[in-house]
Amino acid sequence: MSSGGADIAAQLDEVTAGASTPQQTTVKLGQFQAPATGSWANYIWVPLRDSAGELARVSLGGERTLRFTTLPGNLNFDYLMLKPAGAEPLDLSPIRPLNMSASIPLEAGRKYYLEALMKEGTGGENLAVAWRKPGDLPLQNGDPPIPGAFLSSTGSVDPGTIVGQPESRTVDEFGSVSFTVALSGTPPFDYQWYQNDVPINAASGPILTIAAAAFADNQAQFRVRAGNGISSQLSDAALLKVVPDLTPPALLAAEGSPSLDRVTLRFSEPIEAADALEPSHYAIDGGFDRF
């Protein structure tokens, strides 16, 4: 039994009459009270206790019918184990969650090739290989995988090396501009772009694109740290030159609303919101004719 965070319990009864009917007569044998924490993948054996809280003893001589009832709560029930009174503790190691493989013993000083196969279900599944060193607790679902420092590729691994530096660019104000870096070596590669040596948020690919360059970015320097798990390099700085937009926006069209209380204007380029929303910047000369 295991829990998803709610107080859970189950009850075991003996059916004394009407076993094959909905109107069963039962005698309570005890209750399973599971902890309120845990994960469905981690098996937790919960003892059956009587009304006094002691371990319950159940007489099962002959043919008997038992009823297992789950009480309110988030319950996963997998096995019901009956152990003879006074018997030695059972070895539960062969029983494991269905999403964990059997353990494979490892010998110190030897190299091992690891391969795992997984069939995707409805999405969101993942697979990892973990290890248990002498003295460690038993593995549980969600434990971290084997650290990369103890793993190596089956083939050759070449360090990440920058073979194409980002180049300086010139762009008109509000225009789009991109910087690119090229790497050689063994992927996967990691990237982090910087503007004036300050990391740019979410800029973690081989291409850095600025959708609308601001004049405040004129003369800014852009560089990238790129590499793989073997090595990384900081690229040369690329200079961004932004040419200021000195041509004022031109009015392309004006359209009145059917209710005659609004005018929609279309300009040749984006304009500042403060200017666009200032009424004193607009005038209607000569009125208009309604046809």
pLDDT value at residue 191? 96
pLDDT value at residue 75? 58
Residues 6+ positions from 80 with CB-CB distance below 8 Å: 68
* Residue 3 clears pLDDT 50, i.e. is over it: no
CA distance 158 to 230: 7
* Residue 290 clears pLDDT 60, i.e. is over it: no
Average of pLDDT values for 80-108? Answer: 66
CA distance 192 to 204: 5
Residues 6+ positions from 251 with CB-CB distance below 8 Å: 265, 266, 267, 268
Strongest mean pLDDT among 29-43, 47-61, 91-105, 206-220: 206-220
pLDDT value at residue 19? 86
Model pLDDT for residues 195-212, shown as the tens digit of each residue:
999 999 999 999 999 999
Q: What is the mean pLDDT of the chain?
A: 81
As a whole-number percent, the residues of the chain with pLDDT over 70 amount to 79
* Residue 217 clears pLDDT 90, i.e. is over it: yes
CA distance 117 to 101: 11
Determine the straight-line distance between the first and last CA of the chain, rounded to whole angstroms: 81
pTM: 0.45
CA distance 221 to 196: 5
Model pLDDT for residues 54-79, shown as the tens digit of each residue:
878 787 778 888 888 877 655 566 66
For tokens 């059972």, name the residue: 90
* Residue 41 clears pLDDT 50, i.e. is over it: no
Helices and strands (H and E) in the chain: how many: 1, 18
11-25, 112-126, 154-168, 273-287: which has the minimum mean pLDDT?
Answer: 112-126
Strongest mean pLDDT among 21-25, 96-100, 171-175: 171-175
Helix (H) or strand (E) holding 274: helix 273-276
Distances in Å between the Cα of 241 and the Cα atoms of 102, 150, 171, 175, 244 are 61, 46, 6, 11, 9
Contact in structure between 43 and 34 (CB atoms under 8 Å): no
21-35, 45-59, 70-84, 149-163: which has the minimum mean pLDDT?
Answer: 70-84
pLDDT value at residue 35? 62
Reported as a pLDDT band with limits 50, 70 and 90, residue 21 is: confident
Distances in Å between the Cα of 98 and the Cα atoms of 43, 95, 128 are 11, 9, 14
Residue range(s) occupied by CATH 2.60.40.10 in the chain: 161-243
Label each residue of 244-255 as H, E or C: CCCCCCCEEEEE
Average of pLDDT values for 125-138? Answer: 80
Structural class in CATH, domain 161-243:
mainly beta
Give the CA-trace dihedral at 166, 172, 177, 179, to 10 degrees.
10
